[in-house]
Amino acid sequence: MRRTKIVATVGPACDSPELLAEMVRAGVNVFRLNFSHGTGDEHKARAALIREIAAKQERYVGILGDLQGPKIRLRKLAEDPIRLQPGLELVLDTRLADGEGDATHIGVDYEPLARSVAAGDILLLDDGRLRLLVDRVEGEEVFCISESAGNLHSRKGINRLGGGLSAPALTEKDMVDIDLAAELGLDFIAVSFPSSAEDIRDARAKLQQAGCFAHIIGKIERAEAVANDEHLDDLIRACDGVMVARGDLGVEIGDASLIGLQKHIIKRSRVLNRPVITATQMMESMIQNPVPTRAEVFDVANAVLDGTDAVMLSAETASGQYPVETVIAMARNCEGAELYPSARKSSYRLERQFESVEETLAMSAVYAANHQKGVKAIVSLTETGRTVLLMSRLTSGIPIYAFSRNRETCTRVSLYRGVYALPTDSADASIDDCVTALKARSEVSCGDLILVTMGDTVGVDGHTNTLKMLRLS
């Protein structure tokens, strides 16, 4: 069974009932609604359709709403596109409105720009495809020299190499989308461009005020977010999960630095008991081609071997020509990487002390599963999914089955590596009920050895205190 989960973005290329149903069958675990594109009505229709399809296929599929956040962009160009050439001088001016200016005098929607840059800074446009050298700053005008050749389109993003262009993490549009997320009852909300733990706490307060209690996924995409390990850890702790958003992060810190940082973020997220998604251009060539490149195959595999919970598809499924084929290829590559021995065993946490009975039981279950010959499955009766989240932080080839009466729990664990949700009819479901359900699905059979975690106090969060090993009859 594939343990690494797949997040796929919904867009015009795949929002028909037939294609979404095929994508679920192909292996999508969470669908992403990108609030940077589309209308509220479109997102409502897609969320309803996803839930209808998941129910028909008797699967739990999560829905993640991705807030646009304060991405700093060019304003609409008077001529679109304009052509840049090395040595061309152009001016960035925050006073210009959409459609004003000309081919060398361009509006920017970031009012502090002139106070945030200095001569010698490098500004990166369109995810780093084009580079501008800041020559001088005069009042509200930033004079730049192009170092690149290429077409520049309206609304493209601007980053400063090394970071430093920051705006509040939530915009007016985000507040509207938070109300939409509450109305839709989404499972996850991705907060874009947080600089600190305080940004996440502020977002959580605003979400809860709107009646939205979705789990928050903090997108790590600013240089400030990874300034040092203490700052990064604080940010991760404030989130319910994180995303390694390699697009803007790579632009700000440089691709060479991103390689090791991806591994570090995944490691810290697992240590701090948070699920982690690896995103951006994982199978970019499949937007136009039916098969991935070798480099993309290895990129996915490396993320899996690093321990990521999920890998994400963006334009590949939202606007690409082969959305179903892309999911199939992603699933196949994840499964291939998971066959490697290091992806199935773990010595992690052997030397540390645990902070709760729940964590002790969770760690003991995975350790026993990895070392007791013949264990076929770990079964957990869980209210919130906390115990299975802790178990999923350790590497194992043994499937973890989360049995819960809560639909929200069953849906949210769809993001956890190696965890598979099954419903129970009531709070007092027994071990026999769980075994019967697994036998009906041919997941276990008579003579198999399984491990079970549960609590004496039924229906109460945080009371897991029992670990059993059973030989099925």
3-state SS assignment for residue 272? coil
Q: Provide the b/e sequence for 236-275 (b: ≥16 CB within 10 Å).
A: bebbbbbbbbbbbbbbbbbeeebeebbbebbebbbebbbb
Q: DSSP 3-state assignment of 360?
A: helix
Is 280 an annotated catalytic residue?
yes
Q: For residue 86, is the peptide bond before it cis, meaning its omega torsion is within 30 degrees of 0?
A: no
Report d(CA 330, CA 315) in Å as an integer: 14
403 within 8 A of 379, measured Cβ to Cβ: yes
Taking the C-alpha atoms of residue 296 and residue 255, their distance in angstroms, rounded to an integer, is 15
Q: Is 219 a catalytic residue?
A: yes
Which of 280, 326, 382, 411 does the annotation list as catalytic?
A: 280
Residue of 32, 76, 246, 417 with catalytic role: 32
For 276, list phi and psi in degrees, rounded to 5.
Answer: -140, 135
CA of 458: how far to CAs of 92, 364, 411, in Å?
A: 62, 21, 20
**Identity of residue 34:** N
Q: Is 32 a catalytic residue?
A: yes
Would you tell me how many other CB atoms lie within 10 Å of the CB of residue 162?
Answer: 13
Candidates 44, 59, 73, 155; catalytic one: 73
CA 321 to chain centre: 23
Residue with tokens 């440089």: 254
Is residue 277 helix, strand or coil? strand
- Report the C-alpha gap between 34 and 67 in whole angstroms: 7
| Residue 376 annotated as catalytic | no
Catalytic residue among 3, 160, 219, 268: 219
| Two structure tokens written together for 194 | 């947080």
Closest C-alpha to 409, from 369, 270, 401: 401
Q: How many residues does the chain have?
A: 473
Rounded Cα distance between 189 and 241, Å, is: 10
Number of H helices, E strands in the chain: 15, 21
Of 65, 279, 69, which Cα lies nearest the Cα of 166? Answer: 69
Enzyme catalytic residues: 32, 73, 219, 280
